[in-house]
Structure 1
Amino acid sequence: MERSSNFRKNKFSFGMGTIGRDMVYTMVSMYLMVFITEVVGVSDQTLITITTIMMVARVFDAFNDPIMGVIIDNTRSRIGKYKPWIVIGLFMSAFVAMMLFTDMGLTGTSYIIYFTIFYILWDVAWTMNDISYWSMMPSLSYDQKEREEIGALSRIFANIGLFVVVASVIPVTNMLGEQFGSKKTGFLVYTGILVIIMIVFQMVTVFGVKEPPVIGGADESKTDLKGMLRALFQNDQLLVTAVAMALFMIGYVTTTSFGVYYFKYVFLNEEMYSVFAIVLGVSQILALLVFPWFSRRHSRKTLYGGAIILIVLGYLIFFFSPANMIFIGAAGILLFVGQAFIQLLMLVFLADTIEYGHLKLGKRNESVTFAIQPFINKMGAAVANGIVGYTLVISGINSLNDGELLSQRGLLIMKSAMMLLPLLLIVLSFFIYRKKYIIDEKTYGEIIEKLVIREEDKKEVE
């Protein structure tokens, strides 16, 4: 009973930490580009430069993620190895997010330099918090179903945060802009509100989570650079998961990053975007709520395959949909129900590769392993930002004046970049998973049994 009570407390304390995190992350990842193009207003040349900087900075920082994972795995403190970096990354991210949503009155080269400095700092700060936060998750339970519960609840809270921002960012920043006399100030105040929420809910995780002991007789020696490379490249299931996740995230982030532009320039109704976001938010949260029910009755491969079918149907309906909320909403529900299932499945796939690597290599590297998630998110966002930024220039959107309409050529370019390319990448990720990923429910159970036997043998020797 004590363990069950502790598990429930850990599950909710950990899951609630995602609410504010994903609010701020959504603001930066999805609406920083909107702020730059629609609020600050920059030339095509400046936009191309900033887009390139974002891509290069994210790719460079992504390769630093495993190093941060090593630092976290090697941390020894009174409050554990995860929480110190959660707190440091939290407050750094809060400060830098505020700085990104102001231009300080700078223009041209001065603004580009200012943006570059704080964008790089954002990547560093977020890396500290993100890797330490998510690598804590697999340490909370060795039971696959319990991990799915933790993951599902975390994704539910994360999606609440995400869709609150998606649904409110346009009307609230417009309202704040009118109140303060500047849309720039409206964005800054709105970001400040999100930052406060993030700090409050992250403190719930820091003070509420208590980690259970490790099983399996893991090597507790510190991880060096050679050990990091061994943990990453000799764990074949981690590599398969990483490739599949990367392809999926590039497609998903590309589609979502086009959202505001699509409703504004294709459907010519920016206000529809908030309604659309509410429909999607509710449907995705409901999908995560029912996931455990489906998980008890179907294998993970079956759930993944069903989710891919929903996503394909959603993209096809969206591509041919007129400016009608019924068709748009139906497409969105299919897309984001499927997406919710896949994101949760990939989270637990990644968690299960830790025990696989533990058995194969003799050492648990939670943070190095979970460094793959922000690595993939950053690479995905870098590629997606590149696709969005260049598409805005090539399609002619960035150079449109108020009242001007997008040409048919520009419309086709945007729809193809937003839907056809992502669909191809997401389907490809599914085939890689089906072909190469071997840790099903039965195999994972065998891994845990072998780790327990190894721990018992070690105790007998001692």
Structure 2
Amino acid sequence: MENSTTSHSKRNRVTFGLGTIGRDMVYSLISMYLMFFLTEIKQLSNNAMWWITGIILVARIFDALNDPVMGVIVDNTRTRFGKFKPWITIGALSSGIFTILIFLDYGVSESLFIPLFAVLYLLWGITYTTNDISYWSMMPSLTTNPHEREEIGSFARICANIGLFAVVAGIVPLTNVLGEKFGSMHNGYLVFAIMVVIIMWVGQAITVLGVIEPNRITKNDSHTSLRDLASAIFKNDQLLVTGISMALFMIGYTTTASFGLYFFKYAYGDEGMYSIFALILGISQIIALAIFPMLSKRIARKIIYRYATILVVVGYVVFFFSPMNMIFIGIAGILLFVGQAFIQILMLMFLADTIEYGQLKLGRRNESVTFSIQPFINKMGGAIASGVVGVTVIISGINDAQIPSDVSQNGLFILKFAMMIFPLICIFAGYLIYKRKYIIDARKYDDIIKQLREKGEIL
């Protein structure tokens, strides 16, 4: 297959991937640790937490529904800087500012903090989406070569996981140190937030200044209307299948990850071990992502997905029945997160391939609209995960607990069920849907590209 970006492929792979380190640090801080910050650092009451949980759920759903609209805006953008980079820049700068504002101590009562939080959280979601959609939809515009996409996507996911696990492994020790230095744990989290925002801004600058977009890989430059938006999503059956499978996976993955700090503080009984556990899992995921391009050249994606799902199932089962022993928990975590790493990159590739499928089927190429499904899914998954976490910490007694022994055995069972069994059901259901409905394999994709070239739709 012809390589459309050979001269710039290595540079683009590096500069595109580096841009997501800070992005995922910011996203991980908000999606995984904001609830912990509100319950453990701000120590909001149960009544306030019910309100906060509802606000997060509604705000993420509202923001997620706006994602495809943002995809249309990006697809219709025409500037001398391209259609992606202006929105990447605007979204990075504004979402970084709102990240910092969320962690500021305003010194107000809970009744005033709740509406203030609602406004800031909603604005954070909208501005982060602006960056997220434009950033990820740039990737399929760089090449139609599937192996190049896998290399770009794998390196980007490696960088994303570096960002994610830098936060996961560093948040406890760094916020403790920063809290002592700046007078309170609240200030510690604020300074930590400022640090990750600066890293995001630097990384996004590398992407904006470093990525060289090909002049065109397609002749399709037509305007996308809101009616076309609905057609691009609902008439692309493979996009819908991928979206549903991806949503179920993200609900499970995000729910498990969001409970990590609670698990080690209240179930395992040693909050400090969380950082060590996270570091081991982070290294495991990065290794899995690094070897994915080599595996995919020798093994069909559907086979990789099958064995990745088996790893996830075994990991959850071992984790649920494991005694509070770090060896068993560590083995379960490695199985679980290595499998999840493979599924993450597979979902990204499945999503990218539906662009050409939709272009052939519908006669229109919609990169940003298609990739708006990814942040939509991430937010819906995050919304449901936040809802599960919020309700669980309240009904299990964790929000009222001062020390681990304050949580009953029944409360710990509720925590483990929500963290492990519910996500397992979601991820396995996503695999079954993919297995029965997804039809784009390597041969099918090559045939799609061949037909598009014959019609002059890909240059």
1:356, 1:447 within 8 Å by CA — same for their partners in 2? yes
Q: Which residue of 1 aligns with 2:167?
A: 165
1:311 paired residue number: 312
Report the AA paired with residue 312 of structure 1: V
Q: Distance in 1 between matches of 2:54 and 2:174?
A: 30
| Within-5 A mapping of 1:40-439 | 40-218=42-220, 220-402=221-403, 404-439=405-440
CA displacement at 1:54 relative to structure 2: 0.3
Aligned partner of residue 400 in structure 2, secondary structure: coil
Aligned residues with identical type, % of pairs: 57
Answer whether contact 1:155 1:344 (CA < 8 A) is retained: yes
Amino acid at match of 1:197: I
Q: For the residues of structure 1 that align with 2:103 and 2:279, how far apart are their CA atoms? A: 24
> 1:374 Cα shift?
0.4
**3-state DSSP class of the match of 2:401?**
coil
Q: CA deviation at 1:211?
A: 1.3
Displacement of 1:404 in angstroms is 3.9
- Alpha-carbon shift at residue 294 of structure 1 (Å): 1.0
Structure 2 unaligned blocks of 5 or more: none
Match of 1:32 in 2: 34
**Whole-Å separation in 2 of the counterparts to 1:338 and 1:372:** 22
- DSSP-derived class of the 1:223 partner: coil
Question: What is the identity, as a one-letter code, of the residue corresponding to 1:96?
Answer: F
Inter-partner Cα distance in structure 2 for 1:100 and 1:280: 28
Kept after mapping to 1: 8 A contact 2:4/2:144: no
Read off the aligned partner of 1:204 and give its amino acid letter: I
Q: Distance in 2 between matches of 1:56 and 1:404?
A: 33
Measure how far apart 1:354 and its partner are.
0.3
Q: Which letter maps to 1:335?
A: L
Q: CA–CA distance in 2 between the matches of 1:216 and 1:95?
A: 36
CA drift of 1:95 comes to 0.3
1:194-251 C-alpha deviation (Å, 9 max, x unpaired): 1111100110100111111434532x22111101111111100000000000001001
The Cα shift of 1:400 comes to: 1.3
Greater Cα shift, 1-10 or 359-368: 1-10
Give 1:12's match in structure 2, choosing from 5, 14, 26: 14
What is the CA-CA distance between 1:436 and the residue it aligns to? 0.3
The structure-2 alpha-carbon separation of the partners of 1:176 and 1:369, relative to structure 1 and needing over 3 Å to count, comes to: same
Query: How big is the shift at 1:396?
Result: 0.8
One-letter amino acid matched to 1:82: F
Output the CA distance in 2 between the equivalents of 1:264 and 1:145.
42
Q: Tell me by how many angstroms 1:109 deviates.
A: 1.2
* Partners of 1:103 and 1:111 within 8 A in 2: no
The answer to whether the 8 A contact 1:216-1:454 is kept is no
Structure 1 residues 160 and 403: alpha-carbon distance in aligned structure 2, compared to 1, 3 A threshold? closer
After superposition, the C-alpha distances for 1:14-33 in whole angstroms (9 at most, x for unaligned) are 01101111111111111111
Determine if contact 1:216/1:452 at 8 Å carries over to the other structure. no
* Pair 213,360 (structure 1): closer, same or farther in 2 beyond 3 Å: farther
Q: How large is the RMSD of aligned CA atoms in angstroms?
A: 1.4
> Is 1:450 matched with 2:451?
yes
State the shift of 1:183 in Å.
0.6
Q: Which amino acid aligns with 1:145?
A: H
Q: CA deviation at 1:3?
A: 4.4
Tell me what 2:23 maps to. Answer: 21
Please report how far the alpha carbon of residue 2 of structure 1 lies from its aligned counterpart in structure 2 after TM superposition.
10
Q: 1:385 to 1:2 in 2, by over 3 A?
A: closer
CA contact (8 A) 1:57 1:120 kept: yes
Once residues 196 and 373 of structure 1 are traced to their aligned partners in structure 2, the CA distance between those partners, rounded to angstroms, is 24
User: Does the 8 A contact of 1:217 with 1:455 survive in 2?
Assistant: yes
* CA gap 1:2/1:413 in 2 versus in 1, 3 angstroms: closer
Quick check: 2:176–2:185 contact (8 Å CA) kept in 1?
Answer: yes
Deviations along 1:413-460, one digit per CA (max 9) or x if unpaired, are 11111000100010000000000000100000000000100008x99x
| Number of residue-to-residue matches in the alignment | 457
TM-score (norm 2): 0.98
Residues 1:403 and 1:235: Cα distance change in structure 2 (over 3 Å): closer
**For the residues of structure 1 that align with 2:378 and 2:351, how far apart are their CA atoms?**
13
- CA deviation vs aligned residue, 1:319-367 (integer Å, no higher than 9, x gap): 1112221111111110110000000000010000000011111111100
